[in-house]
Amino acid sequence: MKKYCLLGLVALVVLALPLAAYAEEEAAKYNFASAQGAKELRVPPGETTEGTVYFYNIDGNRITHITLAVSQAPSGWGVTIEPPISETEVLVSGMPVMVEENLYIEPGELFTEEPEAVPDGMVSVKVPGRGYALGKAARVLITVPQSAALGTTGEIVVSAEASWLGQSGSAAVKQARDFDFTVTVVSASTEYTETIVGANGGAGDASSGGVKWWPAIVGGAILIPIIGWRRKRKMK
């Protein structure tokens, strides 16, 4: 009888282990919160512009591991992401695990006012309607070729994948989203010019006084009084 009782107790313990692990996973809160900087960027030919994506974690109780990749870019354009992907050593329930990622976001708190002291490697992120959070920034560096024509527009898409580790140390949950940037190639000069290119074979530059019909107006304004003066002399 004791033998059967002991076997029953062992069976209950074995069954309880997966249930405990399941209950722990059920209590996990995963948070993939982000905010994007300017989506419309401008850059002269041969130069580099920068887009920014911010990540924070105020509604989760697990570390969010984030991997970034360029999924779309015009041919010949250079796009890099900082920080680059690297390996991070993580202890999961005491077991060492290596995770390939660009950055990770630990759970943090929500502030009603913008924090005055921001730790190194962190940034203050404004959470609309809620306050401020401490997070991390990913920089998207976009370089256009010197040969890029003015007015050219390029679409850049950066894909982000967030993952959360389970009891075994592997990713138990994943979530993905994209961040779009529109980049326009503009002149490096800050001088303003406005030129009308007409279909009648002429071009008028409003900034340099090159409008063709302006001398005709001035000449007409001078001739009208002269003609009137001559008529008065004849009448006398």
Q: Determine if the pTM surpasses 0.85.
A: no
* pLDDT of 190 above 60: yes
Q: What is the pLDDT of residues 129-182, one digit of tens each?
A: 999 999 999 999 999 999 999 999 999 999 999 999 998 888 889 999 999 999
At residue 148, the pLDDT reads 97
Distance of alpha carbon 215 from the chain centroid = 51
At residue 195, the pLDDT reads 87
At residue 214, the pLDDT reads 44
Hey, what long-range contacts does 96-103 have (CB within 8 A, 24 or more apart)? 97/165, 97/169, 97/170, 99/65, 99/165, 100/67, 101/65, 101/66, 101/67, 102/66, 102/67, 102/68, 102/138, 103/55, 103/66, 103/136, 103/138
At residue 32, the pLDDT reads 97
* pLDDT of 234 above 70: no
Give the C-alpha separation, 188 to 40, whole Å. Answer: 17
Give bridge partners of residue 138 from the DSSP assignment.
Answer: 53
* pLDDT of 232 above 70: no
At residue 16, the pLDDT reads 43
* pLDDT of 19 above 70: no
Q: What is the mean pLDDT of the chain?
A: 83
Segment 75-98 mean pLDDT: 96
pLDDT top residue among 20 and 143? 143
Residue 178 has which token pair?
Answer: 């994209």
pLDDT top residue among 12 and 167? 167
CATH topology of domain 28-185: Immunoglobulin-like (2.60.40)
* pLDDT of 8 above 70: no
At residue 34, the pLDDT reads 98
At residue 127, the pLDDT reads 97
Q: What is the pLDDT of residues 91-134, one digit of tens each?
A: 999 999 999 999 999 999 999 999 999 999 999 999 999 999 99
Please report, rounded to a whole number, the percentage of residues in the chain having pLDDT higher than 70: 73
Give the C-alpha separation, 84 to 65, whole Å. Answer: 13
* pLDDT of 21 above 90: no
pLDDT confidence tier of residue 191, bands split at 50, 70 and 90: confident
* pLDDT of 79 above 80: yes
At residue 153, the pLDDT reads 98
At residue 9, the pLDDT reads 41
